[in-house]
């Protein structure tokens, strides 16, 4: 299992629109091969900040399977315009 973790900063006053768009987009990622689960969390301290966690069977399920898919183009179209700055995506392996 690989955890994709991304801190997202949504442009001011677009939080509600982002949350609606994410709800729609979540069915896209959930349909992909190697997808296991996802969580979207809203920060209590910083307005417009979110933590996205997506669990994949393998790193390549995300970096190759999803990113090279037609579905990723839909995901981008729904979500990428909300982010400022554009987020850094990192992957993690569970230790404990």
Interaction between residue 64 and a second copy (CB under 8 A): no
Half-sphere exposure of 58 (CA within 13 A, CB side): 6
Q: Which listed residue (14, 21, 32, 59) binds a second copy by CB under 8 A?
A: 59
Interaction between residue 43 and a second copy (CB under 8 A): yes
Q: Which listed residue (31, 46, 58, 64) binds a second copy by CB under 8 A?
A: 46
**Residue 8 burial (CB count, 10 A):** 21
Interaction between residue 16 and a second copy (CB under 8 A): no
Interaction between residue 95 and a second copy (CB under 8 A): yes
Interaction between residue 58 and a second copy (CB under 8 A): no
Contacts made by residues 18-25, CB under 8 angstroms, sequence distance 24+ = 18/50, 18/79, 18/82, 21/78, 21/79, 21/82, 22/78, 22/79, 24/78, 25/74, 25/75, 25/78, 25/79
Q: Which residues are near a second copy by CB under 8 A?
A: 2-3, 5, 7, 19, 22-23, 26, 38-46, 49-51, 53, 59, 90-96
């Amino acid at each position: 299992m690989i955890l994709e973790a991304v801190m997202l900063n949504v442009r001011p006053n677009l939080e509600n629109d982002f949350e609606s768009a994410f709800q729609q987009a979540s069915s896209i990622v959930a349909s992909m091969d190697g997808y296991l689960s996802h969580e979207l969390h809203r920060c209590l301290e910083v307005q417009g900040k979110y933590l996205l966690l997506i669990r994949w069977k393998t790193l390549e399920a995300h970096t190759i399977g999803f990113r090279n898919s037609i579905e990723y183009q839909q995901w981008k179209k729904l979500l990428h315009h909300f982010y400022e700055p554009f987020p850094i995506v990192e992957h993690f392996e569970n230790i404990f």
